[in-house]
């Protein structure tokens, strides 16, 4: 993991990582933070790191929610857990062949570009194998936080696995703080 490259940002998957996964959610009132999400994000921000959200939203391509509904849900996530420094979303379906949909690295690369950092200076926290694959393809660090939908083979393939969001942040900050002067 990372060597001497200083961590500058932690990017998060939205559904199943930051907020409880409600499939194809278009209703901001259904947004519920995952246990410990606020505290984990506060730790990242207190450490001086940027935060961002990187989310596949194939419900848009499938016609199950509108772009406006997706934005209203993202806005609610930002109200509850933000402010985030960067948001990246992919409205495409799996068959669209885009470069942004995870496991492709496009959104992570774009988020890093927006933040003015290299992918090696970022970490990505997600709940499924596609999240880990996208981070690896982008050259970012990755931590898997499994949920009940995470498959065993995804857990086995992940380089770094945390029991929850707080633990994922602890792992990342411990590595980051070893490589730079820790704020007191």
Domain ranges of the chain: 9-177
User: What pLDDT shows up at residue 153?
Assistant: 96
Q: Which two tokens stand for residue 148?
A: 């009940």
Q: Give mean pLDDT, residues 119-142.
A: 97
Q: Which two tokens stand for residue 109?
A: 């690369």
By annotation, the residues acting in catalysis are 13, 15
Per-chain mean pLDDT for the chain: 93
3-state secondary structure of 125: strand
Question: Which residue do the tokens 């596609």 mark?
Answer: 130
User: What pLDDT shows up at residue 175?
Assistant: 81
* CB 149, CB 16: distance < 8 Å: yes
Please state which CATH number belongs to domain 9-177.
3.40.50.1000
- pLDDT higher for 36 or 179? 36
pTM of the model: 0.92
Q: Which two tokens stand for residue 174?
A: 């411990």
Nearest CA to 29 out of 63, 73, 70 is that of 73
């Amino acid at each position: 993991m990372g060597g001497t490259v200083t961590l500058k940002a932690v990017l998060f998957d939205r559904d199943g990582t930051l907020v409880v996964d409600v499939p194809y959610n278009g209703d901001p009132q259904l947004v519920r933070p995952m246990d410990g999400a606020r505290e984990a994000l506060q730790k990242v921000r207190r450490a001086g790191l940027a935060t961002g959200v990187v989310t596949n939203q194939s419900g848009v391509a499938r016609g199950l929610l509108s772009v406006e509904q997706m934005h209203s849900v993202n806005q609610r996530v930002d109200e509850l857990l933000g402010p985030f420094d960067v948001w990246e979303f992919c409205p495409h379906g799996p068959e669209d062949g885009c470069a942004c949909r995870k496991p492709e690295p496009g959104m992570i690369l774009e988020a890093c570009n927006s933040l003015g950092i290299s992918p090696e200076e970022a970490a990505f926290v997600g709940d499924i194998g596609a999240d880990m694959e996208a981070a690896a393809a982008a050259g970012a660090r990755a931590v898997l936080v499994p949920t009940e939908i995470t498959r065993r083979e995804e857990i086995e393939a992940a380089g770094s696995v945390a029991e929850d969001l707080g633990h994922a942040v602890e792992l990342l900050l411990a590595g980051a703080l070893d490589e730079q002067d820790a704020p007191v």
